[in-house]
Chain A
């Protein structure tokens, strides 16, 4: 019950800032979503850093089958060529619709910054009500010698011209969050 209400809240909050969230049963469904989305938008590449070996192999297989080029590392070389960033997220904050991603891995950062569209996969169990409830975990990450911790709430946006809200200032123009439901 509690988990569902966190999911609802997350979905509502991210929608307010122009992002989208929905639940998916498993990684395969997430892959189906990301491939479809990329194709619909006319993209040809998928940047998928930050995944485990087995997951990456599935991403590559499905991506290539759909005719997409899949990168997982050395993304600087592809800086002008990243259409869709497909990454895992570490936590979701329901109160604000925020993704928290431990982004020390430079490729992970680049995929979430340089892409036109960012699709993040968030395990439902990693949803938290608010930022303070994550304080210990996040404080712990920052205690490491090096850290790059990203809190991302919706697409990149600006209001700098006449305060008119406009998406896609520098980073992704769209942010999609696929909430991975707990295994039955």
Chain B
């Protein structure tokens, strides 16, 4: 049994230890880079979104009729001589499997990879019953010998170096092994495990698919160990989660093609895909037949499949990509980013399969950068479900944390909120020493927050400056409302001023409705859904979608929140749901507005300065905008210098950077290293939150690279008209 710290402080200490592990950091960084490239290569020419949609459709259909598919599977499998069991929970599944072994007189068990068996800690149980269990997947065998759990769903021993493996195998074989000879190490496993296969009397496998119409299971592997596990011993037990049921082979093949490509291991199909149905011939079995069992695990799945929100989590096909693309996973690895199930899906499933205590601290560890959502082959909205799960945990706390109560109270009251923001200016003044950034944070922030300088709140917020800034346009052909967002309004009003300069003379009437308040995303990030809803209603009152052609935002996070979350928050709210959808439909980000609506191309002018770009998560994924900002950069006369991880999060994540400063700092560090390597003088982005993080980090490095919001960068071009 494992436990993940329920206490945030303990969990953070664990994360710090992981961050200090240089081998892990290097391995994971290399893995992430290679994975990104290989995933892109194997999907070349394919429409990932359409395929993912098809997988989601197949899974949703199957999940909506699990009992029916189970009955169908059972009938077909039993007609072929297999025995089918349904275990209500982990304890029952363990019991059933141990009983099968006892009844059949089996003592030596070999196993191929099964996350479901990890879920129920099957090995521990069987070993306690006096049975010998040998994992035969190389990675699983390694971690079994070390007494660990997998740190990745596909690559369970990715956290270990060849030196550690060589040391381990030297101990097992009693021979000194050369760590540089990886082939030799694999050979050791081949020899040792071949013996285990040949002497085993029972094989335990997992299953990637259960085909209802034929009672067949499908198993995906590269090493071929599952084939030996299901062939050599006289008894075969397949342990599978109920959600693996699909109607037929066609459905499974559709999922298979996406599953393997999406692992990012660089292949369109795995080495072996094995389909087994019924009691197949087996020379050492009774009557020359295999004793075949399929054990289905419920463990909450049936109930989950009927949950209006969380059923989506059961679409997971265990490709591991939500870990592969996660910037947090890339820093700390699976042992620190999950319980048994790791990565984004692990944050959710831990709560349902392994309980609140194990999920309590873990579930907060999400940036909401949406990388996992974009990579999920089953279209699971992982960040949303993570926040929902965090909400469940929160609801069960004896007392909501003070910061949650404070946030809720303040955000719901715009006047109070804005009053406090204005007061912040006075509080900060002595710390800033006349600068725009606070380099040395006051003691109550804690040392770990010092990785970035913090901006000073503006002396006069945008809302106070607006009357003097706004100039009526003579013949406006577009009516646009600006949604400022807290950062632009109170910290970076100059970004809005840049916007105003750019719009001058372009026939745009820009309004700034003063009753608008925080978009509500920070509340949702802290799982304060009720507060987010109240704030959403206030914003709807402030911004009547009927009066505007566009609702323009300089903040990618506000924009994607208004577009995606607002309609969801107000779904079913009489009168409001319609308006929320209308408003969402009019939301547009700055770059798209400039490029696609105003058509600023060919050229604004510009200095020809070399600029790198940071793609805000909520722009490139949240709003799906990728082309416009890069076009605008070029139109504004910059020399655009691309780098590989442009679309990887900067580590800000709003309150995330306060909750997990060490991780935020580590993620920022990688980002800034990449930017620095381009040699750019400027770093441009489209989100004031990213500006805060990037500028603060560069200032701490005393780097000369200047960070600009895209609006500022574009406006600067006006000052240098092209010759």
A contacts, CB < 8 Å to B = 17, 74, 76, 79-80, 95-96, 98, 104-106, 109-110, 113-114, 131-132, 135, 138-139, 142-164, 166, 168-171
Contacts and interface: CB of A to CB of B under 8 A. Distances in A.
A149 B275 contact: yes
7 contacts: A113-B227, A131-B257, A146-B277, A151-B272, A160-B142, A169-B189, A170-B136
Contact of A159 (B136, B142, B265, B279): B265
Interface string B201-234: 0000000000101101000001111011011100
B137 interface: yes
The interface centre, meaning the residue of A104, A142, A148, A154 with most chain B CB atoms within 10 A of its CB, is A142
B223 A151 contact: no
Interface in B175-189: 182-183, 185-187, 189
A114 B224 CA distance: 10
A169 B81 contact: no
B231 A169 contact: no
B182 A166 contact: yes
Given A139-B250, A163-B155, A156 B224 contact: yes
A142 B186 contact: no
B272 A150 contact: yes
A113 B136 CA distance: 14
Nearest to A164: B182
B138 A158 contact: yes
Contacts of A155: 271
Contacts of A96: 268-269
B250 A135 contact: yes
Interface in B149-185: 155-158, 160-162, 165, 182-183, 185
B281 A170 contact: no
Given A163-B155, A168-B187, 16 more contacts: A76-B283, A104-B281, A113-B227, A114-B228, A139-B249, A139-B250, A142-B249, A142-B275, A148-B274, A153-B269, A157-B223, A159-B222, A162-B162, A170-B136, A170-B227, A171-B223
A145 B290 CA distance: 13
Nearest to B248: A139
Contacts of A105: 281
Contact of A106 (B165, B224, B231, B268): B231
B198 A156 contact: no
Interface in B472-511: none
Nearest to A141: B275
B193 A143 contact: no
B271 A156 contact: yes
Interface of B: 27, 30-31, 34, 79-81, 136-139, 142, 155-158, 160-162, 165, 182-183, 185-187, 189-190, 193-194, 198, 211, 213-214, 216, 222-225, 227-228, 230-232, 248-250, 253, 256-257, 265, 267-284
Nearest to B31: A163
Contacts of A166: 182-183, 186
Contacts of B157: 160-161
A147 B213 CA distance: 13
Nearest to A156: B224
A-B interface, 5 closest residue pairs, ranked by CB to CB distance from nearest: A171-B224, A160-B139, A146-B278, A169-B223, A145-B80
A77 B273 CA distance: 26
B250 A80 contact: no
A95 B223 CA distance: 21
Contacts of A139: 213-214, 248-250
Contact of A170 (B31, B211, B223): B223
Contact of B222 (A131, A143, A157, A162): A157
Given A109-B231, A135-B253, A170-B190, A146 B280 contact: yes
B271 A154 contact: yes
B172 to A, nearest CB: 14
A90 B216 CA distance: 19
A134 B227 CA distance: 22
Contacts of B162: 161-162, 164
A173 B187 CA distance: 11
A162 B271 contact: no
A167 to B, nearest CB: 8
B277 A151 contact: no
Contact of B227 (A153, A161, A171): A171
Nearest to A154: B271
B275 A148 contact: yes
A144 to B, nearest CB: 7
B288 to A, nearest CB: 9
Contact of A151 (B31, B158, B274): B274
Nearest to B184: A166
A150 B275 CA distance: 6
B224 A169 contact: yes
A17 B271 contact: yes
Contact of B282 (A106, A143, A157, A159): A106
Contacts of A147: 80, 214, 216, 275-278, 280
B269 A161 contact: no
A134 B270 CA distance: 17
A74 B281 CA distance: 12
B371 to A, nearest CB: 20
A114 B225 CA distance: 10
Contacts of B253: 131-132, 135
Contacts of A113: 224, 227-228, 231
B161 A162 contact: yes
A158 B139 CA distance: 9
A161 B224 contact: no
Contacts of A79: 198, 232
A145 B228 contact: no
Contacts of B256: 131
Contacts of B161: 162
Nearest to A152: B272
B275 A153 contact: no
The interface centre, meaning the residue of A143, A144, A152 with most chain B CB atoms within 10 A of its CB, is A143
B471 to A, nearest CB: 59
Contact of A142 (B30, B211, B228, B273): B211
Contacts of A110: 231
A142 B283 contact: no
A4 B216 CA distance: 34
Given A17-B271, A98-B269, A168-B186, A74 B283 contact: yes
A184 B614 CA distance: 62
B150 to A, nearest CB: 11
Contacts of B231: 106, 109-110, 113, 148
Contacts of B31: 163
Contacts of B228: 113-114, 170-171
The interface centre, meaning the residue of B137, B139, B268 with most chain A CB atoms within 10 A of its CB, is B268
A146 B76 CA distance: 10
Contacts of B273: 150-151
B198 A80 contact: yes
Contacts of B249: 135, 138-139, 142
A174 to B, nearest CB: 13
A90 to B, nearest CB: 13
Nearest to B269: A96
A161 B281 contact: no
B447 to A, nearest CB: 35
A37 B286 CA distance: 38
A142 B274 CA distance: 11
Contacts of A157: 222-223, 271
B138 A160 contact: yes
A163 B182 CA distance: 10
Contacts of A150: 227, 272-275
Given A109-B231, A143-B213, A161 B277 contact: no
